[in-house]
A and B are shown apart, each in its own frame.
Chain A
Amino acid sequence: MIEQAKTVFARALAAITSGGLVSFLRTRTIVALVLLLSGLLAGIHIARRGTVNALWMSNMMLFAAPLGIVAAGQTLVMLTGGIDLSVASVATASAYLMATHSGLGLAPALLYGIAVGFVVGLINGIGVALLRVQPLVMTLGTGLMTEGMLVVYSQKKMADAPRVPQFIEELGAGKFLGGIPNDLVVWVPLAMILIFVLRRTGYGRLLYAIGDNSRACSLAGIRVWRVLLVNYVTCGLLAAAAGLIIVGGTDSAELRLAEVYLLPSVAAVIIGGTSIFGGRGGYSGTIIGALILTVLNSILTLLDVPESIRQILYGAIILLLAAAYTRLTD
C-alpha cells in the first residue's frame, strides 16, 4: 500500500517537474477533480467554520446519490456520443406513477415506477439505435411526451392521490449506523458495478468504441444497434430508479419533481471528464462531478442567496468548470 502510494507520488512529482502541472492534470483528470472538490470543501471550512462536519458530509452524500444515479445513465449514453434529455421527465413520471399505485403494495408500486423507465428507454433506444434519429431530438420528443402524458394522467387520477410509501421515504431520506445515508446502499454497489462494467467488460469496451467511431464498430462486425438499445433502456431504468429515491427525499410526488436534475445530470458527466462527443471518460469522474455540484448547491443554500442569483451563480460556475475542463483536455 505504502509502496504503491510512493510510486504514485514519485510519478506525480516526475510528471509535475518534467511536463508541468497542467500536463499532469490532463493525463490524470480525476486527480484534478478531487483537488477541486477538496478546494471547495476547504473553502467552506474557512468561510464558515464548523459547517464541514460528519452530519454535513453525510447529508452531501444523501443528496448526491440521486444525482449520481441519473448521471450514471447519462454517462453511459454520453460515452456513446449521445445524450438523454428525457431523464428528468422519466424520473418524475416514475416517482409519480409509483406514488399513485402505492395502494397496491410496495412491490407492484415500484414495478410501475421502473416500468416507466423501461418503456421510455425502449422508445428512445428504438429511435436512436434502429432508426438513427439524433439522440438529442429523440429524447427531447420522448421527454415532452412523457411529461405531457403525466400531466394528463395526474388530472384524470385525482381520486387516487399520490402517496409515498414508508420504504421509499426511508430509502430517500433515512440514515443508518449513525449517519450513513440509506440511498448509498443503492448508489455505492451501483457505482462499483458500473465502473467495473465500463473498465473490464466487453459491453463497456463497446460503449467507448461506439462513441469513438460507430461506423468502425459496424465494420468490425458489431451490431451497434443492440448495444445502443440496451444502453438507452439502461439509462431509462436508472433515471426511474433515481426518481424513486428523489421522491423518497422530498416525500411528495409533484409534477415538476425531477426537472431540476436535467441540467446537473449532464453537467456532472461533463465536469467528470466524459466527452460529449463520446469515446472518452468514465463513471468515476461523474461521481466526483455529482459531488462537486451537490456541494456547490449546498454552498449557495448556505449563503442564503435568492433563487435568481443562485441559478446565475450555479450556471456560471458550471460554465467555468466546463470551460477549464475543455481547455485542459483539448
Chain B
Amino acid sequence: MNEAALLLEATKMAKKFDSVVALKAASLQVRPGEVHGLMGSNGAGKSTLVKIITGVYPADGGQIFVKGVIRSFRSPAEARRAGIVSVYQDPALVPDLTVAQNMRLAGASVDAVRKWLTELGIVRLDFSLLVRDLPDPTLRLIDLARALAWEPAVLLLDEITASLPADLSEQIYAMVKHWRQRGNAVIFISHRMAEVSALCDRATVLRDGVTAGVTERAHGSEERIVALMLGAETARAVASGPSTHAGGSRPDDAEPALEVRGLRCSPLVNEVSFKLYSGEVLGMVALEGQGQEELFDCIAGSRRYGEGAILAHGKELRLRHPADAIAAGIVLVPANRLLALLQQRPIPENIGLPAFGGIRNWGPIKSRDERARVESSIERLRIDTRAGSELRRLSGGNQQKVVIARWLASGFDILLCFDPTRGIDIGTKRQIYALVREIAAEGSAVLLFTSELTEIALACDRAIVLFGGRVVAEMPVSQADEATLLRSAHGLSPSAEAS
C-alpha cells in the first residue's frame, strides 16, 4: 500500500501502566475518506490507543505518522493542531463554565459550533447556560460540534453512542457519513456490532493490546470481527446462541418477592407499579432518561421517594439508606462500576465489604470464614485474579464480576442489575447472562434493566417497558421482540397492528 496515502498511521504502539500492559503492539491505518471501526473486548486497549494518538498519554513504544510525517503529541491541544480531534467517552466540557466560555477556553469559534449544532439537530441552545445545567446527551453533541468546528482531518469517536437515545444516535451516524464524504476520516469505536457494520468501511480489531486483524469490509464481516475479538477458540461458544430457559410457570396467587406500588420520585418517576416474583428475571427497557435510574435508586435505598410503596414479600419497606434495602435482601449492581468498587483495594476486600456494615462486625475479622466466602464467589464467577493486589488493574468486565461476586458472597433475595453489561465484551456478557439465569433458577428474583434490547430475549422471562416515568407495557419474553420493545419504549402501542 502506498504509505503516503494514509491519513493516520500508528505502528506497534505500546503502553504500560505500572506492571499492567495495556498495549503491546497495536497498529492502525486510516485512509482519507473512510469510517474506520476500532473494535475489541474490554481491556483490549481501544481507549488507550485513542488517548495515546491524541496526546493524553505518552506512548512507551511505537510511532505515529500523520500524512506520512512522524509525530508525537504531548497534549490533546497539540494533536488538534495537527488535525486530529477526539470526542472521548465523557464530554470534555467544564461544568462551572458556560457553553460560550467553554468554547473560548478551547479556542473554538462559537459561530462554527453553533452551525454544527444546528446540523446535529440542536437549533436553539443558549450559550450562556452553565454546562452543569445541561443534560448529558446535549453535552455529547456540543462536544462533537466543537470537535467538528476544528475541521479535523481525523475525528475519533470513542463510544459516543453508548448512552445516547436512538434518535440522537441517528443524527450522529448522518454526521459521520457527511464527514467521510468531505474526504476526512472518522475512527469509530463502539461495542454495538450493528452500528459498526452499518457505518464503517473497514475495521481494526484489537485483542490484548495487539492488532488482531483488519477487515477490509466492515459490512458483512460481523462473524469475522467477533472471531478476531475473541480469538479462535471462544468464538464458536459465543456463536452458539442463547441458552434456552423455561420460566413463566408460577401460580397466579403467588406472593411477589418485590412489589412496587404507585412509586413517585420527582421529577422523572411518575407512578411506577410492577411485581417481581422469585425465580424470575424481569427485564426492563427504556430510552434514556425515562426515570429508570431514579427508580433503581429508590428501590436500592439510595434515593428518597415521595409517594408509593416498595414491598418485599408482602412487607412494606422503609428505605432510608442502602443498608435498609440490603437488610431486606435487595441488592444493586449499578451501571457505573466506579461507583461501586474500591479501586485501590484488593479483590477480596472489595467482595467482603458488605459484611462490615453493622457495628457488630467492626471487631476482629474471622479470616477463615471470610476467605471461604470470597474464594467461592471468585471461583463461581471465574474472575481473573492475576492482576494482583489492586482492583484498578482488572479489566472492566472483571470489575463488573467483582460487583456481582460481592453480593453472591453476602447473600441476597432480590438482585437489581442496572445495565450490567454496558461497555463489556461479548464473552463476559454471555457469562453474566448465564449467571443471572442461574441466580433466578436458585430461587432469587432479578430485575434487569438493559439498554441493549437483544439482552431481553437472552436473559429474561418477562419484560416491562418504562416511558415517561410509567410502566407502559408488560409482556412475556416470547412476545418481546426488538421491534415491539422499541415501539413501546418510544411510547407507541406495542404492536403495529393495534395502532
Contact = CB atoms under 8 A, between A and B. Distances in A.
Interface of A: 196, 200-203, 205-206, 208-209, 212-213, 215-223, 226, 279-280
A217 B352 CA distance: 11
Contacts of A213: 338-339, 341-343
Q: Which 3 A-B pairs have the closest CB atoms?
A: A221-B326, A202-B356, A212-B342
B249 interface: no
A205 B365 contact: yes
B363 interface: yes
A161 B238 CA distance: 83
23 contacts: A200-B365, A200-B367, A202-B362, A202-B363, A205-B365, A206-B356, A208-B342, A208-B345, A209-B342, A212-B342, A218-B321, A218-B322, A219-B300, A219-B322, A219-B339, A220-B326, A220-B357, A220-B406, A221-B327, A221-B354, A221-B357, A223-B323, A280-B344
Interface in B296-341: 300, 302, 321-323, 325-327, 332, 334, 338-341
A208 B391 CA distance: 14
Given A209-B349, A218-B322, A202 B342 contact: no
A215 B332 CA distance: 13
Contact of A223 (B321, B325, B349): B321
B356 A222 contact: yes
A279 B345 contact: yes
B353 interface: yes
B322 A216 contact: no
Given A201-B364, A203-B362, A220 B345 contact: no
A216 B363 contact: no
B352 A212 contact: no
B303 to A, nearest CB: 12
Nearest to B354: A220
Nearest to A208: B345
B361 interface: yes
Interface residues of B, number: 33
Contacts of B323: 221-223
B198 interface: no
B21 interface: no
B365 A202 contact: yes
B359 interface: yes
Contacts of B364: 196, 200-202
A219 B355 contact: no
Contacts of A223: 321, 323, 357
A209 B344 CA distance: 9
Given A203-B362, A216-B342, A209 B321 contact: no
Interface in B247-303: 300, 302
Q: Which of A203, A279, A280 has the most CB of B within 10 A?
A: A203
B343 A212 contact: yes
A222 B353 contact: yes
Contact of B341 (A208, A216, A218, A280): A216
Contacts of B326: 220-221
A67 B283 CA distance: 58
B339 A215 contact: yes
B342 A221 contact: no
A208 B349 CA distance: 10
Interface in B147-198: none
Nearest to B323: A221
Nearest to A202: B356
Contact of B365 (A201, A215, A279): A201
A76 to B, nearest CB: 13
B364 to A, nearest CB: 5
A206 B359 CA distance: 11
Contacts of B344: 212, 279-280
B154 to A, nearest CB: 32
Interface in B81-136: none
Q: Which of A200, A201, A221 has the most CB of B within 10 A?
A: A221
B69 to A, nearest CB: 34
B362 A201 contact: yes
A208 B42 CA distance: 28
A200 B340 CA distance: 23
A206 B353 CA distance: 8
Contacts of B356: 202-203, 205-206, 209, 222
A269 B108 CA distance: 45
Contacts of A279: 342, 344-345
